[in-house]
Chain A
Amino acid sequence: MSRPAEPPATETILIVDDEPQIRRVLRNALEPLFARVVEAATASAAIDMAAAERPGLVILDLGLPDRPGVEVCGEIRQWSTVPILVLSARHADHEKVGLLDAGADDYLTKPFSTSELVARVRALLRRAHVAPVGGATQVIEMDGLTIDLAKPMAKRDGITIHLTKTEWDVLRTMLRHAGRTLTHQQLFRAVWGNSFGDMQQYLRVHVRSLRRKLERDPVRPQLIRTEPGVGYRFETDP
């Protein structure tokens, strides 16, 4: 995938956390790298500021005193596509699934390292500035693999790889959201249009054959990563 330019450092980042110490850590880590950092301590303040400040990214803590984080996520999503990075002190998988389904783009479990945080923020901002994959001329090249979604055509080291229609659909969905974890439900809906039967089993079968065809070592996948208990992610920087 062509390497996009670094995002402009003019972005405003909105930090939402009720703990002043955490806001300070976040500000400390992000302020030297990005233009402006604004803070909110409650869900209602967060929603107001997301509307007023038009931030380029929202970092949202789940343990807010006034409303559940999932609701804040859903509310912002109703009128904005701003990337949302969720912070959670718990690591329940079903919670992650709920958040991603509600429109969060990524999540970090506390305690996180600031370098990890900065990397996630950069990746989210970069993605927000790149036109979504899947346009008429979109060709992806990485690690000896060429994928042309328009034709559609895939080659590994010059040798054509044959994919079924469903495999193309799954691959196209993953590439359109490359770098982002898609829940089983999101992937399934995008490919099959609804959710019925045993989604995870359908997906497992098709992801398995995609890995067989695309990965150098399907047992150690570098492109299609499994997010345990959550879904799959197409890695843009394997």
Chain B
Amino acid sequence: MTARVVREWLLWLAALAIVTAALLSMRARLNEAHVALAFLLVVQLGAARGGRWLGFLLAALAFLSMDVLFLPPYGTLAIRDPLDLLVLAAFLVSSLVAAQLLYLARRAAQVGERAQYLMESHRAKDAVLAGVSHDIRTPLTTIKGLAQSLARDGDDRAEVIEEEADRLITFVGKLLDLSRVTSGTAAPDIQLNEVEDLLGAVAQRVAGRLGDRELVFHLESGEPLLIGRFDFAETLRALANLVENAARFGPAARPIELRVRRMGVMLEIAVHDEGPGVPAEERERIFDAFYRPARSQPDAGGVGLGLSIARGIARAQGGELTLVAGAGAGCTFLMTLPAVSVEELARMGDGSS
């Protein structure tokens, strides 16, 4: 017990003593109700200020002094009128209940304050992120825009400035994505979505970034509808990351394959490239933020954030992202997402089948 708590308890015990003395001096003019209400007031105020246990102690002491000092015969625990017993019992129960209720109310208020505090700090963080994002993107926009106009005038050094600005832009974007995904402040917007629609959007997003590599889709034909419950924009971001990775590490002129099927209650989206693959000891570490394989060329592009962002996105919506150890060359990333069955859709009255 801290000194502050001891003082609080002593204060309320003294208050009880004073009230008792005051009541005692006018005992002749009082009935049980006056006494009970006065004591109840002390017990409740004490419980509100000093907590549940102080409330219980005050209730017990008030109970005793009421019995001994205010209910005849005075000076003993005995009671003359059986109805007085009822008064005593009612007093004890109501003061204990009041102490407990006050305690709970105080707890709830504290929990609410903490939740509010957490929410406010999340909001503050989002605001800082948005601000940083704005503060970094605005000068980059200027640099990029002026470099472009210099390049139009025929200065080929300006193209390098633009490329480097683009690299910074990508990096900043990924840092913000990572922070957003790992902090969990932005809840995913989970909707029913078709994988087919998602693949179309992936093709659109990565168009022009794959060089001479073809993006090939394999959709399981037995399934009439591959529909899942996921955040479309976030999942698109994750998949585009995986496809761009595949393009970065896969050999030129070889296709990148995207294969989708349903496995039980999950959808599986596999992204396969025919690159050098990942050695077994690195299969988990490549998902760490900023991790770069030991053998990777220093300028392979990317800063080692894409995979941790993609995994964060998959997990935030109840899925997973892993690297599958497959036979043969290359590398297969497997993303799972919660699936919706046709029967389930029919029950929802979707009417799409």
- State the Cβ distance, A68 to closest chain B Cβ, in Å: 13
C-alpha gap A201/B203 in the complex (Å):
22
Q: Which of B134, B144, B149, B217 contacts A90 (CB 8 A)?
A: B134
* Given A111-B165, A205-B352, A228-B236, A22 contacting B196 (CB threshold 8 A): no
- State the Cβ distance, A216 to closest chain B Cβ, in Å: 12
Tell me if B289 is interfacial: C-beta within 8 Å of chain A. no
A220 touches B203 (CB 8 A): yes
Q: Which of B142, B199, B201, B233 contacts A21 (CB 8 A)?
A: B142
Q: Which of B134, B193, B217, B232 contacts A219 (CB 8 A)?
A: B217
Q: Chain B 189-201 against A: per-residue CB contact (8 Å), 1 yes, 0 no?
A: 1011110110111
Output the nearest chain A residue to B207 by Cβ-Cβ distance.
A220
A93 touches B233 (CB 8 A): yes
Tell me if A229 is interfacial: C-beta within 8 Å of chain B. yes
C-alpha gap A25/B232 in the complex (Å):
33
Q: Which of A93, A205, A221, A228 contacts B350 (CB 8 A)?
A: A205
* Given A201-B192, A229-B233, A208 contacting B138 (CB threshold 8 A): no
C-alpha gap A229/B203 in the complex (Å):
16
Q: Which of B134, B169, B201 contacts A63 (CB 8 A)?
A: B134
A89 touches B148 (CB 8 A): no
* Given A21-B139, A25-B142, A229-B232, A114 contacting B189 (CB threshold 8 A): no
Q: Which residues of A contact B203 (CB under 8 A)?
A: 219-220
Tell me if A137 is interfacial: C-beta within 8 Å of chain B. no
Determine which residue in A28, A205, A220, A225 has the highest number of CB atoms from chain B within 10 A of its CB, and name it: A220
* Given A115-B148, A205-B350, A208-B352, A221 contacting B200 (CB threshold 8 A): yes
Q: Which residues of A contact B165 (CB under 8 A)?
A: 111
Q: Which residues of B contact A44 (CB under 8 A)?
A: none
Output the nearest chain A residue to B146 by Cβ-Cβ distance.
A25
C-alpha gap A214/B38 in the complex (Å):
84
Q: Chain A 190-222 against B: per-residue CB contact (8 Å), 1 yes, 0 no?
A: 000000000011001100100000000011110
Q: Which residues of A contact B204 (CB under 8 A)?
A: 220, 225-226
B201 touches A90 (CB 8 A): no
- State the Cβ distance, B181 to closest chain A Cβ, in Å: 14
Q: Which residues of B contact A111 (CB under 8 A)?
A: 137, 140-141, 144-145, 165, 169
- State the Cβ distance, B239 to closest chain A Cβ, in Å: 11
B201 touches A228 (CB 8 A): yes
Tell me if A53 is interfacial: C-beta within 8 Å of chain B. no
Tell me if A78 is interfacial: C-beta within 8 Å of chain B. no
Determine which residue in A63, A89, A94, A200 has the highest number of CB atoms from chain B within 10 A of its CB, and name it: A89
Q: Which residues of B contact A110 (CB under 8 A)?
A: 137-138, 140-141
| Segment 1-43 of A: residues with Cβ below 8 Å from B | 19, 21-22, 24-26, 28-29
Residues of B within 8 A of A (CB): 130, 133-134, 137-142, 144-146, 148-149, 165, 169, 189, 191-194, 196-197, 199-201, 203-204, 217, 219, 231-233, 236, 350-352
Residues of A within 8 A of B (CB): 19, 21-22, 24-26, 28-29, 63, 89-90, 93-94, 110-115, 200-201, 204-205, 208, 218-221, 225-226, 228-229
